[in-house]
Structure 1
Amino acid sequence: MTLLVVIPARAGSTRLPRKPLRLIAGRTLLHRTIAMARAAIGGRADVALVVATDDREIADHARAAGCDAVMTDSAIATGSGRALAAALAQSAPPRFVVNLQGDSPFQPEGALAAVIAALEAGAQVATPVIALDWPALDALRDHKTRSPFSGTTCARAPDGHALWFSKTIIPAIRNEERLRADQPRSPVWRHVGLYGYALDALRRFEACSPTALENLEGLEQLRLLELGIPVMTVPVDPPLFDSSGIDTEADIVRVEALIAQYGDPVPAL
């Protein structure tokens, strides 16, 4: 096994308790994420998939879908920490580890493959981003009036490396009306909740305590930037419909309405 894809599935979400088991249009969030991951991995023999959880019911629910599950310490506070614990529990440590956040089952097609390609090309850390057109930016702004901490944006350097991530919408835009008239896309990139790590980079990340800015924003990837670990951002096309993640009851209602309108993008298990 060269690469391990880990779905962290913590029971104790404060905003949406027992989130992995919540139903979305008749299927649980966890089963949806497993199905999406399997479709993205395809038939690669060097890639394994596992759910990392601190809850027996969630582990059993993963196994019912035919997915391996690893029990991890409930004291682990981050998805990346749970991903590292799952990697170290394997009989042979993988070269790369992907943390596929369990609350984002509607990933863009090709995002996982793009992250894997960036790792294999030498990136220490890789994560996808989507260039927002103006209607998508307007929709994100509207969404944040109701769920201000749902959805993350990214400022990027010209070479693709991340400069910063934020739960606010960055960058601020001067002369927006002129830009809207001149170009079809806004300068805002939305971050997709998927991270790939070289194992050594993930070990280094987890060996350090959370930083003050990481705690303020609630974004663990800020620790990487503060440690000087480069994060390569990989542009991907937007999914069938745009969902920033499932964090609240309102997010479930919104996504179910999108499924009813556009159809279900997640394949059957």
Structure 2
Amino acid sequence: MSVLIVIPARYASTRYPGKPLVALRGASGEAKTLIRRSWDAAMQVTGVDRVVVATDDDRIRDAAQGFGAEVVMTPESCRNGTERCAAAIDAMGAKFEIVVNLQGDAPLTPAWFISDLVAGLRARRDVDVATPVLRTEGRALRGFLEDRRAGRVGGTTAVFGERRNALYFSKEVIPYTGKTYPDDADTPVFHHVGVYAYRPDALRAYGTWPIGPLETLEGLEQLRFLEQARPVLCVEVDAKGRQFWELNNPEDVPRIEAMLAEMGAD
């Protein structure tokens, strides 16, 4: 019943080159790189047997090893984090029940998101992939809409059916709602949290499938599973009053630093 967390990280991000090595200041003013903060988040998760950083870049390798992380070098040909996770488990030659992809741009991911995700996948033997979703409140939804109006992607949203199997993921804000919500009011929009849990066979199969038109249009790796008619379980998680945001653009740095300060996180 072993669990591996892989933190895929690449230097040549299209939207934000060098993103894993961007410094983020915490509440005390101490600056830590994004990859360090992502590693720290992974190390807070209980019930995990091993955590590794998977990269193809020597600069990221050196930075990660500098703070004590285990690093697995993966090919430059990996086109996204899921393919990099598959390459990592092949390179390690180890067997795990569940592999978690904690993408290196989500340092605010609470430990219980991952614990709940793993528990959700274990409870549904009919699915091989799971990902967390977080119901947005009015403040977060307004931020998503403002980002889209400015031509930025603030986050990915998800819609799912009765059994919580995903229907679609999009960088647009879906489903459409013309209503205005108070800051702390629940909305019908779910923020897709960029974490995945896979059974290893599904993870390895992923790289053998062609990239489909929806994945190409949206630039969302999880759509490959849907385009292959493979169910993706959406596990609803509770923020417990904590803010959550991913670092997608340079404009997100001050936003995340403000959240770190509000949380009192160094």
Provide the TM-score with structure 2 as the length reference: 0.90
1:199 and 2:203 equivalent? no
- Alpha-carbon distance, 1:173 to partner: 2.3
Q: Any conservation in 2 of the 1:166–1:217 contact (CA below 8 Å)?
A: yes
Give the aligned residue type for 1:113: S
Structure 1 unaligned spans of 5+: none
Which amino acid counterpart does residue 52 of structure 1 have in structure 2? A
* Preserved contact between residue 96 and residue 199 of structure 1 (Cα < 8 Å): yes
Q: Which moved more, 1:230-239 or 1:214-223?
A: 230-239
Distance 1:38 1:120 in 2: 21
Q: 2: distance between equivalents of 1:75 and 1:167?
A: 24
Report the AA paired with residue 29 of structure 1.
Answer: L
Contact 1:10 1:53 in 2 (8 A): yes
**Aligned equivalents of 1:147, 1:263: Cα separation in 2:** 29
* Partner deviation per Cα, 1:221-243 (whole Å, 9 max, x = no partner): 11101101111111111262231
What's 1:3 paired with?
3
User: CA shift at 1:264, angstroms?
Assistant: 4.0
**Equivalent-residue separation in structure 2 for 1:108 and 1:159 (angstroms):** 24
Whether 1:143 aligns to 2:147 is yes
Partner of 1:28: 33
Task: Compute the displacement of 1:199 (Å).
Answer: 0.8
- 2:192 and 2:238 map into 1 onto residues whose CA distance is 12
1:56 counterpart = 2:58: yes
Once the two structures are TM-superposed, the CA of residue 116 in structure 1 deviates from its matched residue by 1.0
The superposition leaves residues 19-43 of structure 1 with CA deviations (integer Å, 9 ceiling, x where unpaired) of 1111011110000000000002x3x
8 Å contact kept, 1:115–1:234: yes
Q: Residue 254 of structure 1: CA displacement?
A: 1.9
Q: Please, what is the CA RMSD of the aligned residues?
A: 2.0
Identify the residue that residue 96 of structure 2 maps to in structure 1. Answer: 94
**CA deviation profile, 1:28-64 (whole Å, cap 9, x unmatched):** 0000000000002x3x3x6210000001121121112
- 1:65 maps to what in 2? 67
1:232-251 correspondence to structure 2 within 5 Å: 232-238=233-239, 240-243=242-245, 245-251=246-252
Note the alpha carbon deviations across 1:54-110, whole angstroms, 9 max, x for none: 011211211122211011111111100000111111232322211110011111341
What one-letter code is carried by the residue in structure 1 that aligns with 2:53?
A: V
Aligned equivalent of 2:84? 82
Contact residue 158 and residue 168 of structure 2 kept, 8 A: yes
Task: Determine helix, strand or coil for the equivalent of 1:249.
Answer: coil
Q: For residue 149 of structure 1, report the CA deviation from its aligned partner.
A: 2.3
CA distance in 2, matches of 1:94, 1:137: 37
Q: 1:213 to 1:96 in 2, by over 3 A?
A: same
Aligned to 1:103: 105
* In the alignment, structure 1 residue 217 sits paired with structure 2 residue 222: no
Name the TM-score, length of structure 1 as normaliser: 0.89
**Secondary structure at 1:105's aligned position in 2?**
coil
CA distance in 1, matches of 2:187, 2:110: 19
How far apart are 1:185 and its partner, in Å?
2.0
For residue 224 of structure 2, give the secondary structure of its aligned residue in structure 1.
helix
Equivalent position of 1:230 in the other structure:
231
Specify whether residues 104 and 114 from structure 1 end up closer, same or farther in structure 2 by C-alpha distance, changes over 3 A only: same
Give 5+ residue unaligned stretches, structure 2: 26-30
**Quick one: distance in 2 between partners of 1:91 and 1:220?**
24
Q: Output the CA distance in 2 between the equivalents of 1:158 and 1:256.
A: 37
- Aligned-residue offset at 1:172: 1.2
How many residues align? The count is 257
Q: Residue 120 of structure 2 is aligned with which of 93, 118, 121?
A: 118
Identity of aligned residues (%): 39
- Within 1, Cα distance between the matches of 2:211 and 2:218? 11
> Which whole-Å deviations, capped at 9, do the CAs of 1:153-194 have from their partners, x for residues lacking one?
0001111111100000111126x36xx59x942111110000
